[in-house]
Amino acid sequence: MSPHDPVIGVLALQGDVREHLITLAGLGVTARPVRRPAELADIDGIVLPGGESTTMCRLLDVFELRAPLSARLGEGLPAFGSCAGMIVLATSILDGRPDQLPLAAIDIVVRRNAFGRQVDSFETDLTVDGIPGEPMRAVFIRAPWVERAGRDVQVLARVGDHPVAVRQRSVLATAFHPEVAGDDRLHRLFLDMVTGPAS
């Protein structure tokens, strides 16, 4: 595949799959839902959407995606996780179910539902390092935050003292939902990570 024409998969087990597919299509990118191991073979990057992280982790096993996706991530497949996707990509989850196993693709410890329950969901304007222009409108829905970040993890944004957007090499993760806010700049950043050298 040409680096100028990447194919992006969106993990399509549960959550905001459609919203990410629409955002990527709006950027002129070929985007495909991923539900089966074979569909991992011909993608250049993958998005893990917002949704319900415990369900997503369980369905990775039901659909036999955990091992092949972990292998691709270990080989450097770029990944972008929003909200539940951040939790699934993390190394460790606080306040998760004992059987909820993340993919350990980025060196962070996340706290589930850190900002509270559904009724505590909120929106705020957020300045994100590496995103030019005005602050982003960030939508937090039963959102996590990063409790601890490894030494090689770059914190891109915070709410108070809590990291809510992070990057480590070719993995990007946000505690909020850029796919529902009508702002495609984080998706553009992710595409730059896919088509350019990882840093």
**Domains within the chain, CATH numbers bracketed:** 7-195 (3.40.50.880)
With CA atoms as reference, report the closest residue to 46 among 57, 33, 56, 55: 33
CA atoms within 13 A on the CB side of 2: 4
Low-confidence ranges of the chain (pLDDT < 70): 1-4, 118-120, 197-199
Residue 133 in tokens: 């222009």
Half-sphere exposure at residue 119, Cβ-oriented, CA atoms within 13 angstroms: 0
Which residue, 193, 121, 120, 122, is CA-closest to 156?
A: 193
- Give pTM, 2 decimals: 0.93
How many residues in the chain? 199
State residue 120's pLDDT score.
63
Q: Yes or no: say if 189 and 171 are a contact pair by the CB < 8 Å rule.
A: no
Per-residue model confidence (pLDDT) at position 4 = 57
Active-site positions read 83, 177, 179
Q: What is the pLDDT at residue 99? A: 77
Pairing of β 79-82 and β 171-174: parallel
In three-state secondary structure terms, 40 is helix
Strands 154-159 and 162-168: antiparallel
